[in-house]
Chains A and B, each alone.
Chain A
Amino acid sequence: MKRREGLAKLTGREPYVDDLAVDGALWGMTVRSPAPRGRIREVRFGDGVDWSEVVVVDHRDLPGPNQVKHLTVDQPILAAAAVRHVHEPVVLLAHPSRRAARRAAAAVEVVVDPEPAVLDFRAPPRPEQVQHGDDNVFTRLTIAKGDVERALAAAAHVIEGVYETGAQEHVYLEPQGMVAWVDGDGVLVVQGSMQCPYYVVEALTHALGRGRDAVRVVQTATGGGFGGKEDFPSCVALHAALLAMKAGRPVKLVYERGEDMAATTKRHPSRVRHRTGVDAGGRLVAQHLEVTLDAGAYVTLSPVVLSRAIIHAAGPYRCDHVLIEGRAVLTNSVPYGAFRGFGAPQTHFANERHMDVVADRLGLDPVELRRRNLLADGESTATGQVIRDGVDRAALLDQALELASFGERRAAHERFNREHPYLRRGLGVATVHHGAGFTGSGEVFLASEVEVAGLPDGRVEVLTASTEMGQGTTTVFTQVAAAHLGYEPDDVEIAQPDTSRVPNSGPTVASRTVMVVGRLIERAGDDLRRRLGLDGGARGAALKEAVAAWHRAHPGESLRGFARYEPPPGIRWDDATYRGDAYATFGWAAYVAEVEVDLRTFTPRVTDFVAVQDVGRIVNETLARGQVQGGVVQAIGWALLEECKLEGGAMVNNQLTDYIIPTSEDVPPVRVAFQETPYPYGGMGAKGLGELPMDAPAPAIANAVAAATGAAAWKIPLTPEHLMELMEDGDHARPG
């Protein structure tokens, strides 16, 4: 089935929030802190602006707690006395003219008396830099299995390594934006670009002293999210709402690209230290890891990012003795947040790069090292989760190598590299896993709900809070409902996520949409049949007629099938000890990258890419392939091109000329293959897919560059300047 809203997007008719013409709307702007830390001494409103025409909002206008409700409430909506990062919002302005709003914003000066800021997450803070607890550590989490110190002491070889990954900016092509107004019934309506309408509802009700019924949040067509619109929209929504409430008129608040890049969340930077024990046969016997994430100035989602990071940190391998110590640390940087992969790409980079380092130290082929250690069914992960999903992980690796013509190409590259004056070619492999859905008890806690309504004409409407942001929600939900009920796709409506109409099916994150919410759609469809007194055999025209007949018999009434999340049987997770079944299920992948490095300019280029994965059943081949290709290219950017240059903890290369994402000329065709082992508890047998493609490319590329050049890559982005240092100067920045 072709993407359902595809033609509307291709012809420019899909309405995004900035496309909406809202009568009488004012344009909002945000005035921000210039300093990474300090006390606000004064806010000066300059000359040259008629301030009587400008709506001004600051923390004193807040009707309730000055808190953006995420996991915690430490982040203020608007800074009051103190600021903790550059670009922290302080004052909001609105004016009928966008140009005038910009001029007004430029005329406001926030004067800050600076305090000692902490900007390097690697070093312990000095006493005057401590702003949380006694050591700036927001969260500590530990995974322990067996006795790692004893196993390391007994190991034939112990190999150490330190790896770092940089921040990454989402660059969704549609910037953040919201429009807010209070309607005739006194209901606060907020429409805009977002992944999680109910997160926004929660943030609004928490802060604005309004009941649930006095707030309505509607997701408009969202031009990309990648996690960047998971939590940050709550801030934008609150700001737009505050301006609208004060102005008594609608307010549109749409970020400009430079503002969006500099002031919103990014991927957490990471550092991972490995101590790995292997036996004489190249089997992992001990893995000790220290994982540190830079959380930025506020907690946001860091505890969950850290959780996922450490759960994946030891890789898809068998090892009896594992100790993973994780910390998320405060710095006065712009707060970091959700980004596709959510901690797993960071630790998979470290682990998969380290596997090649281990192989090299042992004189073993890196492919063979992986073969000897990949989890087989019946074996357990670092948290003690026994894997039993029937996926043939070795076959994934085999298929990837075959598609990449690995053996032949590697031999050809050796010959090529001996002869060419300045080009070097190499291949790199990475094998990874990605837990689908929320961690452990997370899905139970979410208690997601879905409704499938039977309409008077016999068609059905699927009501969920899951958002379409390009990943294919609308189309796949149509397919799931249509397949389950035997309906034609045109007889299935997907409701716009409008919190006055749809139940809370949870956030659109964590690769849970098809697997968890799709499954709920199937069960809600079954419930619809039950309410009609029908069983699972009722399908197609017969079912459609039954729905229509019910409405004839019950005019004006509502017919809804309902489902609430139930965990698959046998999932046991202990939050206190961090042991057990971390995820209901995992996706698995083996990726191969081929690079060519130009030693004149130290520039690596990806010349071929093979991505093989098993994510259960593929519901829509084109959409699934597109998710993999897009994720791979986004990860190529993270690995080679995208560097967030920070000053005072804020991005100074905050424009697309200087923050380099791949163009069509920078990447090869991405060759994708799926193996399918259906997952019985996922919608149509599917597991999660959206984030898995972020996990393997960066280490595969780093491994390929190392194979091509001998450079001991340890950090990304692996820019030409960094590669030059590695190859020419010996790398002085690398920690011991």
Chain B
Amino acid sequence: MPVLTPESLEEACRLLAADPGAVPMAGGTDLLVHWPQNLDAHGRTYLDLSRLDELRPLRWTDDALVLGALTTYWDVIRDPRAGEEFPLLIAAGRQVGAVQIQARGTWAGNVVNASPAADGVPVLMAYDAVVELASAEGTEEVPLDAFYLGYKRMRRRGDQLVAAIRLPRRAYDVAIFEKVGSRRAQAIAKVGLALTRSAAGWRVVAASMAPTVCRCRALEKLLTDGAAVASPDDLLAAIRQDVKPIDDVRSTAAYRERVMARVLYHALLGKAESFG
């Protein structure tokens, strides 16, 4: 099992350009699940990112919080400024697995794992995150809400690496994260919701409700228009336009849809003037 070990981002991009089938390995918390039984995975080539220390820290600029490719959930949970300006990152990070996963799991890894039930992606998307992709040909920026093309498909060429995730700094007067899991910790989301409101408008993001984490534009419009919502049922029409939940090993479509309506409704009571 070949392992490529670049010492710089530039070298990593060169190696990936030469072998776009190589699998970038950050914290391993997704890729190593059931590793011994996953015999096919042992035949692939891996690009070990762990030595790229420059990609670990998060950075503050005047107008953005920049998460490095190797910034972990725990790195963000412990950053006091992140807690103040981007509280949803803390709220979501704390509910990823448990401490052992938070210490190794990276936000970028969560983005490229592309699970529809992802925990990090919804809050990043609700904060209008932009993915910075690096390759031997240069950098490309893709807004996270345009990054996913379908189930486990994304706008990342094989020779591109996520180098950073940039979150614009804004004042938010609404920031809500709700994760409905099968238990209180270490749970895969059955329904995930991230909502924000700023001068840039409402963002409503759902997880586990569609083949990808996605923005809910009909719900955003409903909120922007100030439509009257007297009960959770009043949200169902917009929900049905935005998402298409399924039955799977974790839950049912009927449950997901009804619960999304109820959680949204109660979360917005008192926050959205037209609710209640």
Listed in ascending order, the chain A residues whose CB lies under 8 Å from chain B are: 98-99, 102-103, 106, 256, 258, 421-422, 599-603, 605, 641, 645, 652-653, 655, 657-658, 660, 662-666, 720-721, 724, 728
Contacts and interface: CB of A to CB of B under 8 A. Distances in A.
B263 A666 contact: no
A156 B56 CA distance: 74
Contacts of B252: 721
22 contacts: A99-B36, A256-B37, A421-B269, A600-B262, A601-B180, A601-B191, A601-B262, A641-B182, A645-B249, A653-B249, A657-B188, A658-B250, A660-B182, A660-B183, A663-B183, A663-B185, A664-B185, A665-B183, A665-B185, A666-B185, A720-B255, A721-B255
B112 interface: no
A601 B251 CA distance: 12
B183 A724 contact: no
B34 interface: yes
A665 B39 contact: no
B259 interface: yes
B34 to A, nearest CB: 7
A655 B185 contact: no
A51 to B, nearest CB: 17
B224 interface: no
Interface string B153-173: 000000000000000000000
Contacts of B81: none
A103 B180 CA distance: 38
A187 B39 CA distance: 37
Interface in B217-276: 249-252, 254-255, 258-259, 262-263, 266, 269
A258 B34 contact: yes
Interface string B108-132: 0000000000000000000000000
B190 to A, nearest CB: 8
A591 B250 CA distance: 31
A660 B187 contact: yes
Interface string B181-212: 01111111001000000000000000000000
Contact of A258 (B37, B183, B262): B37
A491 to B, nearest CB: 42
Point out which of A98, A99, A721 has the most chain B C-beta atoms below 10 A from its C-beta. A721
Given A422-B262, A652-B249, A658-B249, A665 B255 contact: no
B249 A665 contact: no
B183 A641 contact: yes
Given A658-B250, A662-B183, A102 B262 contact: no
Contacts of A601: 180, 191, 259, 262-263
Nearest 10 pairs of A and B residues by beta carbon: A600-B262, A665-B184, A665-B185, A721-B255, A660-B182, A663-B185, A666-B183, A601-B180, A600-B263, A601-B259
Contacts of A657: 188
A102 B188 contact: no
Contacts of B98: 663
The residue among B34, B36, B255 with the most chain A CB atoms within 10 A of its own CB is B255
Contacts of B42: 99
Contacts of A720: 255, 259
A258 B36 CA distance: 12
Nearest to A652: B249
Contacts of A663: 98, 183-186
Given A103-B39, A657-B188, 16 more contacts: A102-B36, A102-B37, A421-B269, A600-B263, A601-B180, A601-B191, A601-B262, A603-B180, A652-B249, A658-B249, A663-B98, A663-B186, A665-B185, A666-B183, A724-B258, A724-B259
Interface string B15-44: 000000000000000000010110100100
A653 B188 CA distance: 13
Summarize A's interface: helix, strand, loop or mixed. loop
Nearest to A640: B183
Contacts of B37: 102, 256, 258
Contacts of B258: 724, 728
A602 B266 contact: no
A422 B184 CA distance: 18
B259 A600 contact: yes
A422 B262 CA distance: 9
A666 B184 contact: yes
Interface string B73-89: 00000000000000000
B259 to A, nearest CB: 5
Contacts of A599: 262
B251 to A, nearest CB: 6
Contacts of B188: 657-658
Nearest to B247: A721
Contacts of B34: 258, 655
Given A99-B36, A106-B39, A256-B36, A421 B185 contact: no
B187 A724 contact: no
A124 to B, nearest CB: 29
Contacts of A106: 39
Nearest to B40: A106
Contact of A724 (B39, B250, B255): B255
B183 A600 contact: no
B102 to A, nearest CB: 14
A25 to B, nearest CB: 17
A102 B263 contact: no
B250 A602 contact: no
A658 B251 CA distance: 11
Contacts of B187: 660
Nearest to A653: B249
